[in-house]
Structure formats: C-alpha cells, structure tokens
Amino acid sequence: MKGFQRLVVGARWGNILSEVFGALEKPLQQVEEFLRQAVQSSVRDVTAMALHLLSAGGKRLRPTLTLLSAQFAGTITPRAVLFAAVVELMHTATLIHDDVIDGAEVRRGQASVHRLWGNEAAIMCGDHLYARAFSLLAEDGDIEIIRTMAAASSRVCEGEILELQLAFNPDITPEQCLEIARLKTAELMAAACRVGAMATGADGTVAEALETYGRYLGIAFQIVDDLLDLEGSTEEVGKPVGSDLLEGKITLPVWHTLAALPAEEHTRWRTLIAQRAITSEHVEELSRRARQLGVLTMVREIADAYAQKAILALRTVEGKSQWARRMLERAAHFIVHRRA
C-alpha cells in the first residue's frame, strides 16, 4: 500500500474503501502535496501548526467525496484537485477552532494544536487556513464556487453557535439535534460534492443531486460520530469518548437515550444536565443505559435512513461513471457501519 493509501487507510478508514484509494491514488496524492504547499508560511509556527494536524492523517473524507463527485459527473480535472484541497483546508480550520472551543486535548490520537501552541495561536492558525482556502478560490476566479464555499463556511459557524446556544439544555428537541448535524457537518460535505461536479462543468441537475447526496451523507456521518462518542473507545475514535456530553452537547443518541429512560430516572438526568453536573462516571452510566435500552442500534438505523436518502439522490441522475456511483454508494454504507 503506497503513500496516501497508507496514511488514510491506516487512519481508521479500514479496507472497505481501499479500492477508492487505489483508483484515486494519484489525485489524492496531488491533494496531499497541494495541502502541504498551501500551508507553507514565512512564520514557522503557522506551518508547523497546520502540518501537525494534517500529518496526523484523518479520513480525508471530504476531498475524496469531491474527487468521486468529479468522476461521477465527468472526469477529475486539476480544478477538482484544487477544490478537494480547499475543502480539506476549510475542514482542518474548523477542527482547530472546535478544539479550542471544546478545550479538547487530543485530536486524531495526538495532542491538539491549541494544547501545544496555545489558544490564541491556534485560533489565528484556523483563520489563516480559511484565508488560504479562499485565496486559492479567488485565484481560480469562479464566483459560483466561491459563493458555494462561503455559504458552507457560514453554515458551519451557525451550527457551532447553535450547538453552544443549546448546550446543557434538557429541553432540546431531536429536530434541533439534526439541525446542528446538518449545519456543522453536512453542509460542508454537500459543498464538497457540489464543487466536485462544478469542476467538470456538469449541468445543474447533476451538481444538485450530488449536493443533496452530500448533505444526507453528512447528517448520517454526524449521527454516527455522535454515536461513537457514547459507544466507541479512545483508541478507535482518536479522542476521549464521552466528551460531547461532558461539554453539555445533547446529541441525537443522547436525546433518544434520555427519552427512553423511566420517568424518575429521566428527571434525574434533566437536573444533572441543567445544573451542568455531568461527570465521566455519568457518561459511562448513560452509555451503559443506551446499550441496555437498545438505543444505539436504533440511532444507527436513523443514520442508515439518511444514508439511503443520499443513495436515492444519486439515482435521480445518470452520471458519467458507474464506478464512481458504486464508490459513493459504498461510502454511504461504510459511514453508517464504521467504528471510528
């Protein structure tokens, strides 16, 4: 297994999508090189901070979706590689900012950027990556691409703010949980797919179908991410489990677990949440109850329903590559059943 495949498959994608990395090895390696060049700065720590997170691996899901979307819509062009790198730069910026907001000590199995360089430097690094991303888009000069990525960036911020606004709120609704998932995760995936199609000059119908696919896929991805925070392990997910609930985030699996509890137990948990009194022991207890009540299986089925919607969106258009269609469908299945 070569370069990029070793980096990503070794970073918990597993063997299910090894065919994707084999077929897309060259453009994915081009994305990696593009990223490394894009984060170079005359200020040494700016480069070091960005490379610290980028070199830790990660799934590279978003740039892979951009390239697969380009293949589905036509062919992988140099612009598709550029847009794939831009999407990953923006995603990396959000991770750096998220870790500062959450006080996260670990990301992708290693110390977070703010832990090593401090909050102020980490925030500036995230801002720098956003600026580099839009500078690259400005050089490309397509106003529709810029508008698409700017809208996605804005929605990510809205999702993060909504999540903060609803933290430690026992009255949050499942609809609000899904809205947070859509805004903070799914909209960037939707944009990643859309710009992949736009890079090939595909017509609006194909681009819209891929955007819809990415949005449903992103919701499924975030639901499973939230699920793993309750049922996974630190070794699997690359960060401490249970951190969402400790930060007051009432995610969809947490909401469904609370809703399934007997009245007296439910009331106790509402009080704990409202008083911001959640501890690691409470997280372990709720995880145990989620398993006992069958909630984890039920929530994964909800994620699967969104993945199926993503697949159906693809089937509304012909596309130019049946291989890319199969890989996009396999990605939807993998996201639902992944363990990390």
pLDDT digits (tens, 9 = 90+) for 49-66: 888 777 776 778 899 999
Output the CA torsion sign for 251, 252, 256, 257: negative
244-266: burial string, b at 16+ Cβ within 10 Å, e else: bbbbbbbbbbbbbbbebbeeeee
Weakest mean pLDDT among 118-122, 253-257, 271-275: 118-122
Predicted pLDDT of residue 66: 97
pLDDT digits (tens, 9 = 90+) for 101-141: 877 777 766 877 798 777 898 899 889 899 999 999 999 99
N-to-C CA span, the chain: 21
pLDDT digits (tens, 9 = 90+) for 304-325: 999 999 999 999 999 899 999 9
DSSP string covering 30-51:
HHHHHHHHHT--SSHHHHHHHH
What are φ and ψ of residue 247, in 5° steps? -90, 5
User: Are the C-beta atoms of residues 25 and 36 closer than 8 Å to each other?
Assistant: no
Radius of gyration of the chain (CA): 20
CA distance 313 to 69: 13
Averaged pLDDT of the chain: 88
Whole-prediction pTM: 0.91
Flag whether pLDDT at 73 surpasses 70.
yes
Nearest to residue 220, comparing CAs of 128, 318, 338? Answer: 338
Flag whether pLDDT at 277 surpasses 70.
yes
Predicted pLDDT of residue 192: 98
Give the contacts of 248 (CB within 8 A, at least 6 positions apart): 167, 168, 169, 273, 276, 278
- For the record, the structure tokens of 145 come out as 């691409």
Nearest to residue 224, comparing CAs of 126, 310, 325? Answer: 310
Predicted pLDDT of residue 286: 94
Is 17 in a helix, a strand, or coil?
Answer: coil
- For the record, the structure tokens of 168 come out as 């430690």
Predicted pLDDT of residue 7: 40
Predicted pLDDT of residue 5: 40
Weakest mean pLDDT among 70-74, 111-115, 193-197, 251-255: 111-115
pLDDT digits (tens, 9 = 90+) for 15-40: 556 777 778 889 999 998 989 998 88
Average pLDDT for 152-168: 96
**Domain 3-337 -> CATH class:** mainly alpha
Of 71 and 22, which is predicted with more confidence? 71
CA distance 37 to 290: 45
